[in-house]
Chain A
Amino acid sequence: MSDVIYLDNAATTAVDPRVVEAMLECLGPSADYANPSSVGHLPGRRARARVEQARADVAALVGADPSQVIFTSGATEADNLAILGAARFYRERGRHVVTSRTEHPAVLDACRQLEREGFEVAYLKPGPDGIVEPAQVEAALRSDTLLVSLMHVNNEIGVAQDVGAVGRLCRERGVLFHVDAAQGAGKLPLDVNRDCIDLLALTAHKVHGPKGVGALCVRREPRLGLVPMLHGGGQERGLRSGTLATHQVVGLGTALRIAAAEMQADAARIGALRERLWRGLAALPGALLNGHPSRRVPGILSVTFDGVEGVSLLYALPGFAVSSGSACATTSGEPSYVLRALGRSDRLAQSTLRLSLGRFNTEAEVERAIEAITDAVMRLRSVAPGQGG
């Protein structure tokens, strides 16, 4: 991909070489490849030590105790375990769930499954800036509300919710609070205790770790119950059976440890790149920023280019890896439900690019992106109806 400028870090990121190195130490005949559950022998105990170090790294990032961390295959599994697991465990306590319309499908589809199981779900509509106000959550709570699920950072527009305010509200009302932190963990500060988060899902591959591994932080004091989705060897305190993939878990832990150590510097540098990108693109007439201008994660920029069809715009940028505002540009081309929830029309939603920056992007890449996108937008607009002769 050396000839392509990668601006799709919200989809996934390149694995940091330091993470690769740590993972390789758990693969191969002379590495710590043993089953971390086989603590009856030295190789097993070495693998277990690596797993527990990773658990501590994950916990440290979000102010949790290592005993709260359950390793999963990623944020999707963690979200499902949190939402389905908690709702099924406490179903006699209440059958009402509150979430928002702009959640990731991992949350929305889990909520739809709960609806099929007899739960009632309230889907809050964010404001035009993508923010779900704590007052909206408060207004939606009922005496039988069991769970509130709200994402930390939106994957399409990068807006960050005030999860602390919502968490404290939920804690006061005795309602469980789940946060999908797939896009925010490692990029913005999070603390499960300060922010009163009972269940927090995160993943490795959005922060320069490997795909296929994530974690769920589960409140321990008082102990929170979950119905597991996988049954088997009883790993992860019986909540997630299956042999732990030591190299993946170590990749997660290393990626998050690096993210924690470099969060401030990365946020400043990547945030500056995003601002330069936006300033460059904002010079185009009809360029609209999606989402709140300041309450956002450093790396994600969603821009609508009025008068330009999104799939053609993507086509016109062959040297760049970016995403469109369509849910699936390759098939139906349905406009993004997130942008529609913000009040964008179908036409504007389909005229949108998501540009997401990561640790390895450079100023030169941003300058090239500004130039290429500007050229493509101008060219496509020049052939659109209503442009004169």
Chain B
Amino acid sequence: MTGDDPRYGAEVCRRMASLAGAGRFAPAPDIATGLAGNREQGAEVELSCRIAGGQVMEARFQAFGCPHFLAAASWLTDRLRGARREEIADWDWREAAEALEVPAAKFGRLLTLQDAVRSVVRNWPGTLGSTV
């Protein structure tokens, strides 16, 4: 995927070319997953994070959506690496919007990513359902 469409910034193009971070971890006690969105609305994502020592050791994504959404999900897997639960509890979609130069029309899609991160926080191993 090497599109040169001017509607997409360099980071989106780079992420779409590699789709780095794509995949998922099989369910296990040290895996926190976060699901959000649905295909009927055009955006669905599953984040899965391997947790050790109270922080995200590695994150992966599976996503259905537009290039901005897929690229943001890929970007998020890097952003989450090394983060502690309390650090991402209030993660805001605007950070991805800025990093990937996402146009305002697509902001709603990024809220789906934020929901997925919140879901990861809720499913953090050993703290199921608790608040930060």
Chain A contact residues, CB within 8 Å of chain B: 307, 309, 311-312, 315-316, 318, 330-333, 345-347, 350, 376, 379, 382-389
Given A318-B2, A333-B66, A384-B63, A350 contacting B19 (CB threshold 8 A)? no
Q: Which residues of A contact B44 (CB under 8 A)?
A: 384-385
- Assess the A347–B40 pair: CB atoms within 8 A: yes
- Assess the A385–B105 pair: CB atoms within 8 A: no
Given A384-B62, A387-B62, A389-B26, A347 contacting B7 (CB threshold 8 A)? no
Interface centre among A333, A350, A385 (most CB of B within 10 A): A385
Q: Tell me the nearest residue of chain B to A332, going by C-beta.
A: B105
Q: Which residues of A contact B65 (CB under 8 A)?
A: 309, 312
The distance in angstroms between the C-alpha atoms of A384 and B65, with both chains bound, is 9
The distance in angstroms between the C-alpha atoms of A331 and B104, with both chains bound, is 10
Q: Which residues of A contact B64 (CB under 8 A)?
A: 307, 309, 384-385
Taking A312-B67, A385-B45, A388-B24 as known contacts, 8 extra A-B pairs with beta carbons closer than 8 A to each other, sorted by chain A number, are A307-B39, A309-B42, A309-B66, A315-B3, A315-B67, A318-B5, A384-B63, A385-B46
The distance in angstroms between the C-alpha atoms of A51 and B62, with both chains bound, is 60
Q: Which residues of B contact A345 (CB under 8 A)?
A: 40
The distance in angstroms between the C-alpha atoms of A345 and B40, with both chains bound, is 8
From A316, A346, A347, A387, B1 is in contact (CB under 8 Å) with A316
From A350, A383, A384, B42 is in contact (CB under 8 Å) with A350
The distance in angstroms between the C-alpha atoms of A379 and B62, with both chains bound, is 12
The distance in angstroms between the C-alpha atoms of A148 and B39, with both chains bound, is 38
From A312, A333, A346, A376, B70 is in contact (CB under 8 Å) with A312
Chain B proximity of A106: nearest CB distance (Å):
26
Chain B proximity of A333: nearest CB distance (Å):
7
Q: Range of interface residues on chain B?
A: 20 to 34
Q: Which residues of A contact B61 (CB under 8 A)?
A: 383
Q: Tell me the nearest residue of chain A to B64, going by C-beta.
A: A384
Chain A proximity of B58: nearest CB distance (Å):
13
B8 at interface, CB cutoff 8 A: yes
- Assess the B16–A315 pair: CB atoms within 8 A: yes
From B45, B63, B67, A311 is in contact (CB under 8 Å) with B67
- Assess the B4–A318 pair: CB atoms within 8 A: yes
Interface string of B37-61 (1 = CB under 8 A from A): 0011010111000000000000001
Nearest first, the 9 A-B pairs at minimum CB distance are A383-B22, A318-B3, A385-B62, A311-B66, A384-B64, A385-B46, A315-B67, A316-B1, A315-B3
B129 at interface, CB cutoff 8 A: no
Interface string of B95-118 (1 = CB under 8 A from A): 000000000010000000000000
The distance in angstroms between the C-alpha atoms of A307 and B63, with both chains bound, is 11
The distance in angstroms between the C-alpha atoms of A382 and B26, with both chains bound, is 16
Q: Tell me the residues in window 15-29 of chain B with beta carbons closer than 8 Å to chain A beta carbons.
A: 16, 19, 22-26
Q: Tell me the nearest residue of chain A to B60, going by C-beta.
A: A389
From A312, A318, A389, B23 is in contact (CB under 8 Å) with A389
From A315, A316, A331, A389, B25 is in contact (CB under 8 Å) with A389
From A307, A350, A376, A382, B22 is in contact (CB under 8 Å) with A382
Q: Tell me the nearest residue of chain A to B22, going by C-beta.
A: A383
Q: Which residues of A contact B1 (CB under 8 A)?
A: 315-316, 318, 376, 379
- Assess the B24–A315 pair: CB atoms within 8 A: no
Q: Tell me the nearest residue of chain A to B12, going by C-beta.
A: A315
